A and B are shown apart, each in its own frame.
Chain A
Amino acid sequence: MLPGSNHNTPSGPPRTPAGKEATLWLRARLVQAVRRFFAEKGYLEVYTPHLIPAPAPELHIDAIKAGGAYLHTSPELCMKRLLSAGYPKIFQICPAFRQGERGTRHLPEFMLLEWYRVGMDYTGLMDECEEMILYVSDQVDRGEKLEYRGKTIHLQRPWHRITVAEAFDRYADMAAEKALASGTFDEIMVDRIEPFLGVPKPTFLYDYPASLGALARLKAGNPEVAERFELYIGGLEIANAFSELKNLREQKTRFQAEREKRRQLGKAVYPMPEKFLKDLQHMPQSAGIALGVDRLIMIFADAPSIDDVVSFTPEEL
């Protein structure tokens, strides 16, 4: 059995569209609850184009080419341009597309929930995450306790918060910088840290090494780390958030660095998102988050695979 593999766990919901009725209802109710939450909080629901000329240049995120442009890998760039244009509280629920991502927790087309808020930092988003998921749980008739893959998840606030440095020290007995330098950061994260996060309470893993947050602001007083967090529930990575970087020169330098790394690896190098950079100068201090809706549904449906919570997988098309 491979680490993290869950092929031998009791079967989850059945995997034919016809057998997924309960899960698809749960999916619909959950998405509706998310919309209600943000509407009640005064967020503006937006739709930004999914077909874009220049995706954010990030080393490990590959965009799918479509008709001379790209399918967006996230609505991030357009949503930040809306912040710059004077929309201070916005959210979007949309599909996002990433080349080559397919596994029990990945689909090349998946559903993202992103929200952005002016005047907030990443700690404010952690609070809002707790609030939103508790609201949703209540709306789909679950309380403050969930069962996921035989583990009990307690949603009572406050949730657990641990820095990346502490997590590496505690679970892997190793310094995060050392793992990063030796190129084993991702492997250690997947094998030795992630499985322990988000049980029995959801966990915010925060303060990532600066090099791992291409669009995140560096922490005031500690430029070694970026103000970025990931939310984990039951070992599953659910969301990624930043205090947004608004320094134009810094953002440009980081994009160029990511593009150069992509070039060296022989990956496609995307055009510079010039209009985004131009608008960035006017972006107020804000924070933003991307949450994997399918993964959140997996938690509520107690589903072992992302395949269980979508109507069709790519292989069934």
Chain B
Amino acid sequence: MYNASDLRKGLKIQIDDEPYVIIDFQFSKPGKGQALYRCKLKNMITGAIVDRTYRSVDTFEAANLEERRMQYLYNQDDHFFFMDLENYEQTSLNEDQVGDSKNYLIDNLEVEMLLFDDRPIGITLPNFVDLLVIKADPWVKGDSVSGDSKPVTLETGYTLRVPPFIEEGTKITVDTRTGEYVTRVKS
């Protein structure tokens, strides 16, 4: 249970049986008046953003969230399947829930699965993932139009720009937070 004075950016609370994270928070209090706690909240399931103003008498339930370590198995019919590494139970997320993370999901990748009331609602990836380049155009020396980078396609279907020396069949490290190339993986 939280009080209004516990509210802050990043806090996760439950409203109408759904988990919300506070993405912007502002405290205001006119002279001798009551404190107003203005929150911008993001629904952690739907992504919808709402504004709410709370007062010091308001109380909140903590969102019943749990993170479990899981391994990505495969996808089928827009569903992505994962296995809990402790109890080997399988669970799945739909494409919306996975979002851009699908660009980095390769077999056996370990992720943190976020559960709300035991229901899976999203994943957190490792910051860096190694992925195989499956398509890369050869670099033409002196090609000044494309500058010092060229596009390649990875095994997940994700395309990004990399330095010219990266070739098909090379493994590269990608930063999953920015989607950008980090380095070539030494084999």
Which positions in A face B, CB cutoff 8 Å? 1-5, 7, 58-61, 99-106, 185-187, 189-190, 194, 212-214, 230, 237, 240, 265-266
Establish whether residues B27 and A2, one from each chain, have CB atoms under 8 Å apart when the complex forms: no
Establish whether residues B57 and A186, one from each chain, have CB atoms under 8 Å apart when the complex forms: no
| CB of A303 to closest CB in B, whole Å | 16
Establish whether residues B40 and A237, one from each chain, have CB atoms under 8 Å apart when the complex forms: no
Establish whether residues A212 and B32, one from each chain, have CB atoms under 8 Å apart when the complex forms: yes
Establish whether residues B32 and A104, one from each chain, have CB atoms under 8 Å apart when the complex forms: no
B56 interface neighbour in A7, A100, A106, A213, Cβ under 8 Å: A100
Q: How many A-B residue pairs have CB under 8 A?
A: 65
Q: Enumerate chain A residues within 8 angstroms of B36, measured Cβ to Cβ.
A: 186-187, 190
Inter-chain CA distance A104–B9, complex, in Å, is 13
Query: Closest A-chain residue to B53, C-beta based?
Result: A187
Q: Mark B21-54, 1 if CB is under 8 A from A, else 0.
A: 0001011111111111010100000000001010
Establish whether residues B30 and A194, one from each chain, have CB atoms under 8 Å apart when the complex forms: yes
| CB of A207 to closest CB in B, whole Å | 14
Establish whether residues A61 and B26, one from each chain, have CB atoms under 8 Å apart when the complex forms: no
Q: Enumerate chain A residues within 8 angstroms of B38, measured Cβ to Cβ.
A: 2-3, 5
| CB of B6 to closest CB in A, whole Å | 9
Query: What 10 new A-B contacts, CB under 8 Å, besides A102-B27, A186-B36?
Result: A1-B24, A2-B40, A4-B26, A4-B28, A60-B35, A99-B5, A101-B35, A105-B28, A186-B30, A189-B33
Q: Given A2-B40, A2-B51, A100-B56, are A190 and B35 neighbors across the interface (CB < 8 Å)?
A: no
Q: Enumerate chain A residues within 8 angstroms of B24, measured Cβ to Cβ.
A: 1-2, 5, 7
B27 interface neighbour in A59, A106, A237, Cβ under 8 Å: A106
Inter-chain CA distance A254–B26, complex, in Å, is 31
Which positions in B face A, CB cutoff 8 Å? 5, 24, 26-36, 38, 40, 51, 53, 56-57
Q: Given A2-B51, A100-B56, A190-B28, are A185 and B33 neighbors across the interface (CB < 8 Å)?
A: yes
Inter-chain CA distance A18–B51, complex, in Å, is 36
A60 interface neighbour in B27, B28, B32, B53, Cβ under 8 Å: B32
Q: Enumerate chain B residues within 8 angstroms of A100, measured Cβ to Cβ.
A: 5, 35, 56
| CB of A212 to closest CB in B, whole Å | 6
Q: Given A2-B40, A2-B51, A265-B57, are A186 and B34 neighbors across the interface (CB < 8 Å)?
A: yes
B30 interface neighbour in A1, A3, A7, A237, Cβ under 8 Å: A237
Inter-chain CA distance A101–B31, complex, in Å, is 12
Q: Enumerate chain A residues within 8 angstroms of B34, measured Cβ to Cβ.
A: 59-60, 186
Q: Enumerate chain B residues within 8 angstroms of A237, measured Cβ to Cβ.
A: 30-31
Q: Given A2-B38, A2-B51, are A103 and B26 neighbors across the interface (CB < 8 Å)?
A: yes
Establish whether residues A240 and B27, one from each chain, have CB atoms under 8 Å apart when the complex forms: no
Q: Given A100-B5, A266-B57, are A60 and B29 neighbors across the interface (CB < 8 Å)?
A: yes
Q: Given A100-B35, A187-B53, are A2 and B26 neighbors across the interface (CB < 8 Å)?
A: yes
| CB of A306 to closest CB in B, whole Å | 11
Q: Enumerate chain B residues within 8 angstroms of A214, measured Cβ to Cβ.
A: 32
Sorted nearest first, the 9 A-B pairs with minimum C-beta distance are: A103-B27, A186-B33, A100-B5, A189-B30, A240-B31, A60-B34, A2-B38, A190-B28, A2-B26
Inter-chain CA distance A42–B40, complex, in Å, is 50
| CB of A119 to closest CB in B, whole Å | 25
Q: Enumerate chain B residues within 8 angstroms of A99, measured Cβ to Cβ.
A: 5
Inter-chain CA distance A105–B27, complex, in Å, is 8
